[in-house]
């Protein structure tokens, strides 16, 4: 297949992905009250073997070929789709970082730590227990994964929180700056940082080289501290530069993307992946005219054009048909139940303990229970690194979709319920 053939197929893939995401997103918004980004997760699965491949297997295999015909080698069109999806992911996390207010962590440090620990400990424990049977079953983890690695990986996957989605719901509901919104954001960020640390430990353990953990955690910590101290001081010049020019000019944009690219490269190189570098780079950027205009410029290209490619790529590796076996299906149900009980229950109790009302504590638990995009990232890493099989990948994608789809409707229902509650006399 020539480069021209690959380019032509990529543009057709892009057209199909964008059309599907838009239609599914519209249906989800109109009938289910879901956000576009949540429904794009569903659309990605629909384009894979779970639906498109079941209805029209030949057409699906032609449009999204996973391997080169006559061999077991990965098809080059999948590599192109992967790289484009990673670009969208990095730009998206950069925008999320620019929206994140570091002062939130300072304002609710005590409560955030309590909710975060509860949102880590209980899901991790339940995930570790479930992993024992999964490792013994042999269908979920690759043969080189032992009981310890399996427990750490599944525990980390259960701990993750859909921080970008959490931030979006809080913003859309007008909860930014409120006690509940601040606590949820701070706890969500802490949960995800812990989950990435656990993933580094899993990969190091599999490679029998703990220096990987030292490099990942030590390098990641040093990188984050450097970026939000020294880096933030120098990056502030981007704001004054933007004010002087009156807009973001090509040199300003190139300088920003250069910083972003190097940050993504460095964190990927030390083993904590490009999305972490992109997020920290976004946090280190100056607030004001620069961040507002940069987000406005990136929002449509990233959210509407590139991010759907990541959801599609994830969906191509998800095959619900793998769970036709009743025993495997039972594991999928258990994963969903354990995830909900661990995250929602643990975070609700912790939030109540820190002084939130039961109503607000329940809302925090609901928001923290959503896994969304961050879960797909950790699953894709696990699959690419040979930690999990496509069966466990599918189980966890289902869990991510279910917990994420639950979040917004239940949150809205709880909000309406509190508004309708009669005032005490």
Bridge partners of residue 67, in order along the sequence: 74
pLDDT confidence of residue 420: 47
* pLDDT tens readout for residues 175-224: 766 777 777 877 887 777 777 777 777 777 766 677 777 888 888 889 99
pLDDT confidence of residue 175: 73
pLDDT category of residue 423 using cuts at 50, 70 and 90? very low
pLDDT confidence of residue 422: 44
Neighbours of 84 (CB within 10 A): 18
pLDDT confidence of residue 104: 60
Q: Please tell me the distance from the alpha carbon of residue 416 to that of residue 173, in angstroms, as a whole number.
A: 12
- In this prediction, residues 236-255 reach a mean pLDDT of 95
Long-range contacts of 245-248 (CB under 8 A, 24+ apart): 247/293, 248/290, 248/293, 248/294, 248/297
Q: Please tell me the distance from the alpha carbon of residue 381 to that of residue 272, in angstroms, as a whole number.
A: 10
pLDDT confidence of residue 70: 67
Q: What percent of the chain has pLDDT over 70?
A: 92
- In this prediction, residues 74-98 reach a mean pLDDT of 90
Neighbours of 365 (CB within 10 A): 26
- The model carries a pTM of 0.86
pLDDT confidence of residue 106: 66
- In this prediction, residues 82-104 reach a mean pLDDT of 84
Q: What percent of the chain has pLDDT over 90?
A: 52
- In this prediction, residues 272-285 reach a mean pLDDT of 88
pLDDT confidence of residue 398: 95
Does residue 231 surpass a pLDDT of 80? yes
Does residue 380 surpass a pLDDT of 50? yes
The per-residue DSSP string of 39-66 comes to: HHHHHHHHTTTTTHHHH-HHHHHHHS--
More confident residue, 249 or 38: 249
Q: What is the greatest pairwise CA distance in the chain?
A: 76
CA distances from 402 to 83, 359, 398 (A): 27, 22, 6
Neighbours of 79 (CB within 10 A): 11
- Mean pLDDT, the chain, rounded, equals 87
pLDDT confidence of residue 384: 85
- In this prediction, residues 230-238 reach a mean pLDDT of 96
Q: Please tell me the distance from the alpha carbon of residue 354 to that of residue 17, in angstroms, as a whole number.
A: 44
* pLDDT tens readout for residues 315-347: 999 999 999 999 999 999 999 999 999 999 999
The per-residue DSSP string of 1-26 comes to: --HHHHHHHHHHHHHHHHHHHHHHHH
């Amino acid at each position: 297949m020539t480069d021209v053939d690959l380019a032509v197929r990529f543009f057709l893939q892009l057209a199909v992905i964008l059309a599907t995401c838009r239609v599914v997103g519209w249906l989800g918004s109109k009938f289910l009250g879901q956000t576009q980004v949540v429904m794009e997760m569903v659309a990605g699965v629909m384009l894979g073997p779970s639906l498109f491949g079941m209805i029209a297997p030949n057409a699906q295999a032609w449009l999204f070929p996973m391997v080169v015909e006559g061999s077991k080698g990965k098809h080059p069109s999948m590599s192109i789709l992967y790289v484009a999806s990673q670009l969208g992911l990095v730009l998206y996390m950069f925008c999320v970082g620019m929206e994140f207010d570091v002062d939130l962590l300072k304002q609710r440090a005590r409560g955030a730590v309590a909710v975060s620990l509860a949102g880590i400990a209980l899901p991790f424990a339940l995930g570790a227990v479930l992993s024992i049977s999964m490792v013994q079953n042999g269908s979920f983890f690759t043969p080189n994964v032992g009981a310890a690695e399996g427990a750490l990986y599944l525990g980390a996957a259960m701990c993750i929180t859909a921080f970008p989605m959490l931030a979006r719901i809080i913003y859309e509901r007008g909860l930014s700056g409120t006690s509940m919104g601040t606590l949820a954001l701070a706890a969500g960020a802490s949960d995800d940082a812990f989950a990435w640390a656990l993933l580094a430990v899993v990969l190091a353990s599999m490679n029998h080289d703990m220096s990987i953990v030292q490099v990942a955690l030590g390098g990641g910590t040093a990188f984050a501290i450097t970026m939000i101290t020294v880096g933030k001081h120098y990056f502030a010049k981007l704001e004054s530069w933007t004010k002087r020019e009156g807009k973001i000019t090509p040199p300003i944009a190139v300088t920003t993307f250069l910083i972003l690219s190097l940050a993504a490269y460095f964190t990927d190189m030390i083993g904590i992946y490009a999305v972490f570098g992109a997020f920290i780079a976004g946090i280190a950027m100056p607030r004001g005219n620069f961040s507002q205009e940069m987000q406005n410029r990136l929002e449509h290209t990233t959210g509407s054009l590139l991010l759907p490619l990541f959801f599609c790529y994830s969906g191509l590796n998800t095959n619900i048909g793998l769970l036709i076996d009743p025993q495997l299906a039972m594991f999928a149900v258990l994963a969903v139940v354990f995830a909900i009980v661990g995250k929602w229950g643990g975070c609700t109790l912790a939030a109540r303990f820190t002084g939130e009302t039961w109503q607000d504590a329940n809302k925090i638990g609901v928001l923290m229970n959503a896994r969304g995009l961050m879960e797909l990232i950790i699953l894709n890493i696990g699959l690419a690194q040979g930690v999990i099989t496509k069966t466990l990948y599918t189980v966890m994608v289902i869990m991510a979709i279910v917990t994420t789809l639950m979040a917004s409707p239940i949150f809205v229902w709880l909000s309406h319920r509190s508004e309708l509650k009669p005032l005490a006399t």
